[in-house]
Structure 1
Amino acid sequence: MDRGTVSVAAVALVALIQVIEWHYVLCLVGAVAGPVQNTRYRPNGSLCDIFVQPQGYACDELRAQTSDGFILGVQRMYSGTLNGTAGIPKKPVFLYHGLLSGGESWLLNDRANCLPFLLADAGYDVWIGNTRTTDFSHGHVFATRTDKQFWDWSTDDLVAHDLPTMLNLVHSSTNQTAHYIGFSQGTQVAVAGLIEGHLQSMMDRVVLLAPVARVDSLSSALGVAASLSLVDEIMLLAGIWEFNADLASGQKLLDMICGHAEAHCDGDFISAFTGPNCCLNDSRRDYYEQFETQSTATKNLAHFAQQYRTNSFSKYDYGFWGNLVRYRSFSPPEYDLRKFPQVPLLLIHGGNDGLADKEDVELFVQSLTFSPQVLYFPDYGHLDFAVSYRANSDVYHKILDFLSPSTA
């Protein structure tokens, strides 16, 4: 058999495998499709009303509209005055949340372990961002939550629209660059935005908590099972544009994922998704679950799954022809970590984090052209950085040291 015949045979084999895979996917669509019953709790009141003002802090509710029509909620909070010591205003600090949550995720812990309150007590001008479609943003100029367009977005859109829009609001309101603190997906968006050149002029010091850039070594049992089962593709084929575990469709999909050998759903659900967390306050779990998890776009989840399956930090894959139209290449371009600018950078990660895996964080650090500060907590899981009862003593005072005027 000559080389040309072998090549044709190889292409045919690949095509056959793809047909089999898609047949498998299409057979599962029927198990997921069906009416979406929204049983989600939605908070009655603004983020300022519910979380900030009852603690005695001033808080302003602001809105920022993206160029693609989403109206983002941004909260500005501070302790009494915007001036720090000796009448000199301290810098603004912008906080950006992770996947399946909104800006409230920074405020769910007890007051002594809530980073925004600690920053405000230190005199900082604290800004909290909320991604499109989360509970404390304000929808779209014309699309509604039942429209496909409302959910037609991925991390790329947060990079191109949401984060620059919110940081522009901070800059135009204060005439200052902001310190940036991101958690989980809020780190990946910042990393991609800095690589793309969208954000450097609006950021000063950067803190990445549970940093997610590459997800090659994802160890989250549910995350791995969902990616290997092509659940993201099943959802999109079934016309399920919104994902939330509290929706009927989300519950069906979780049941499907839990049927995978890698899912390990028989244990604690949170640990199966994030990895084991050392220091969550179980007595507050009912309170957390009033507000979490929140909805995200199925396309956003698909983007993460694509990155895991391809071992890449790439833009969204629209398929052969879709990529050609959008990117003028057959495959999506990568966010090149070697182009990450040399900014003052603090990375904080944990040894039990199933989403920001230790090996992936080390790969991220090795890809940089400079040496950032790195803090490592061997017993910390993913959520410990947001709601640990040890967060202040372990993590947050180190962030305050990194941001302090003596080191800025």
Structure 2
Amino acid sequence: MKTVFLLVVPLMVALFFTPQIQRNTCRSYFSYFNIFFSSDCYYNPDLDDDILGIIQRHVGVHETHQVQTDDGYLLTLFRIPRQNPKGVIFFQHSLCTDARIWVSQYNESIAFFFWRAGYDVWLGNTRGNYFCKKHVSLNPTEAAFWNFTFHEIGYYDNHASIEYVKRQIGGSKITYVGYSMGGASGMVYASTRDKDAVDSVKLMVVMSSSTQLGLDCAGFLKYTLFIPYNLQGIVSFADPLFVLNRQDVWYVKIARFLATHFSCKKCMLLISHLFTGFSQDDLVPDLINMFIRVHGSEIPLKIVYHYYQTYISDGLFRRYDHGEARNLEIYGTKEPTSYPLENIKVPVHIVHGANDNIDCPTANEKLYNTLSKNSTVYGKLMVEGFNHFDFLYGRYRNEKVYSKILQILDDINRKE
């Protein structure tokens, strides 16, 4: 028995921790039950690499840039440069993530799809995430560092990033593609800095933009947001020890390890449907471990509170509610002021999934109807069968979404 033990333990350690032996990806959900021996499973180096390593492996060129916002945050941007490009595209990520989501589909990654189509690709990052932990005077261990919502991300981060990209490319206008919170922050930017947006952005694509989130949206998610929102009387939103998804704490590391090695991936997918909506398309089995790896970037509770305020106001897309007294000081009104979406002059293309529980179709219709006719000249796209995550990991994401965005961009280029 002792001899068997001495042989088995080193073998199991090798299976889990030796890249040449470890298989971390399977082509079917069932194969994850037999991942170490199934011929349907293989080792994918992207899962163990950083964003620059992934870009280098599949494209071969990349740049890293740093931008300072007007309120002192230092943001990291990644670029996949193109010589004589058709145009320039700036991608902004969602909540709890960072720029890695755009290169997390291996060789078929969204960023690579547009780069191979001839575009100069820039990947944005927002304050507080894995790549943006610096400020000119604040430290991530200080409460003041985390005192922000998607308002500051739109007003400061998007503005600073877009203006920087514009300067780097010689003043040309760019295409902005924002997913989920990246779409919401894009709407904040385009409505509060409408003149800057007109000068710098030729088209704004917002996918599952999470702006007009009413009581008929969000499915199970609104009940989970309810919990931290009602703790705010006990724990301050600015407490740096109460930031969600801190990557450096032991329980997040353990949770990610267990999720990666959990065999019943289909079970995880069905649980996620409670939050994101049922998907007819379904998340590609090969991508599920990468999905686990790149989701989980830090966010302050104030963002959660801001989103929940949108839900309980039945979809009013407005600034953060500080309470009547503070609102009077900041906004001059007892209630927080709404974002002037009707003032947006940049052309906006709205994309959403018919099965999305987080950003449901009624919310997108409300957003579309709020915008002026001049800003909706390129219309909208509802993707049948898509839930919230299918825009990143759905089997037909390029065919049903990104190829259609390319068609719009090609039409714009022909007219210029």
TM range (shorter): 0.7 to 0.9
Matches within 5 A, 1:299-318: 299-311=302-314, 312-318=316-322
**TM-score (norm: length of structure 1):** 0.78
Against the structure 1 CA distance between its residues 74 and 325, is the aligned structure 2 distance closer, same or farther, given a 3 Å change threshold?
A: same
Equivalent residue for 2:387? 381
Once superposed, what is the RMSD of the aligned Cα atoms?
2.5
- 1:121 maps to amino acid: R
Q: Is the 8 A contact 2:155 2:188 kept in 1?
A: no
**Contact 1:219 1:357 survives alignment (8 Å):** yes
Alignment of 1:358 with 2:361, yes or no, is yes
Match of 2:51 in 1: 47
State whether structure 2 residue 341 is matched by structure 1 residue 337: yes
Counterpart of 1:269 in structure 2 is 271
What is the CA deviation profile of residues 226-269 of structure 1, one whole-angstrom value per residue up to 9, with x for unaligned ones? 34x35224157324541128768999xxxxxxxxxxxxx99833
Mark the runs of 5 or more structure 2 residues left unpaired by the alignment.
1-46, 254-266
Give the TM-score of the pair, scaled to structure 2: 0.76
The alpha-carbon distance between structure 1 residues 137 and 167, as it changes in their structure 2 partners (threshold 3 A), is: same
In 2: Cα distance, 1:249 partner to 1:298 partner: 18
Q: Distance in 2 between matches of 1:267 and 1:180?
A: 30
Matches for 1:234-245 after TM superposition, within 5 Å: 234-235=231-232, 237-239=234-236, 240=239, 241-244=242-245
Q: Is the 8 A contact 1:99 1:185 kept in 2?
A: yes
1:268 aligned counterpart, secondary structure: helix
Q: Distance in 1 between matches of 2:386 and 2:90?
A: 24
Query: 2:75, 2:127 within 8 Å by CA — same for their partners in 1?
Result: yes
Q: State how far apart, in whole Å, the 1-side matches of 2:251 and 2:337 are.
A: 32
Contact 1:95 1:129 in 2 (8 A): yes
Question: Which residue matches 1:117?
Answer: 112
Task: Classify the secondary structure of the residue corresponding to 1:76.
Answer: strand
Does structure 2 retain, via aligned residues, the 8 Å contact 1:243–1:250?
Answer: no
Aligned position for 1:160: 155
**In structure 1, distance between residues paired with 2:391 and 2:172:** 27
Q: For residues 171-190 of structure 1, what are the structure 2 equivalents within 5 Å?
A: 171-174=166-169, 175-190=171-186
| Residue 25 (structure 1) aligns with | none
Inter-CA distance 387–215: structure 2 relative to 1 (3 Å threshold): same
The farther-off stretch of 370-379 and 118-127 is 370-379
After superposition, where does 1:76-225 map in structure 2 within 5 Å?
A: 76-78=79-81, 81-84=82-85, 90-112=86-108, 114-174=109-169, 175-196=171-192, 197=194, 198-225=196-223
How has the CA–CA distance of structure 1 residues 45 and 325 changed in structure 2, closer, same or farther, with 3 Å as cutoff?
A: farther
1:54–1:395 distance in 2 versus 1, CA, 3 Å = same
How much does 1:406 deviate? 2.2
Looking at structure 1, the residues matched to 250 and 215 of structure 2 have their Cα atoms a distance apart, in angstroms, of 30
Q: In the alignment, is the contact (CA less than 8 A) between 2:218 and 2:359 conserved in 1?
A: no
Structure 1 residues 218 and 242: alpha-carbon distance in aligned structure 2, compared to 1, 3 A threshold: farther
Where in structure 1 are there 5+ consecutive unaligned residues?
A: 1-42, 85-89, 252-264
Counterparts in 2 of 1:299 and 1:135: CA distance versus 1, 3 Å: same
SS, match of residue 118 in structure 2: coil
Cα distance in 2 for partners of 1:68, 1:236 equals: 28
- Residue 47 of structure 1 and its aligned partner are, at CA, apart by 2.6
Change in Cα spacing, 1:249 to 1:99, as seen in structure 2 (3 Å) is same
| Count of aligned pairs | 342
Secondary structure (helix, strand or coil) at the match of 1:396 reads helix
Measure the CA separation in 2 of the matches of 1:47 and 1:169: 21
SS at 2:130 equivalent: coil
Instruction: State the match for 2:35 in structure 1.
Output: none
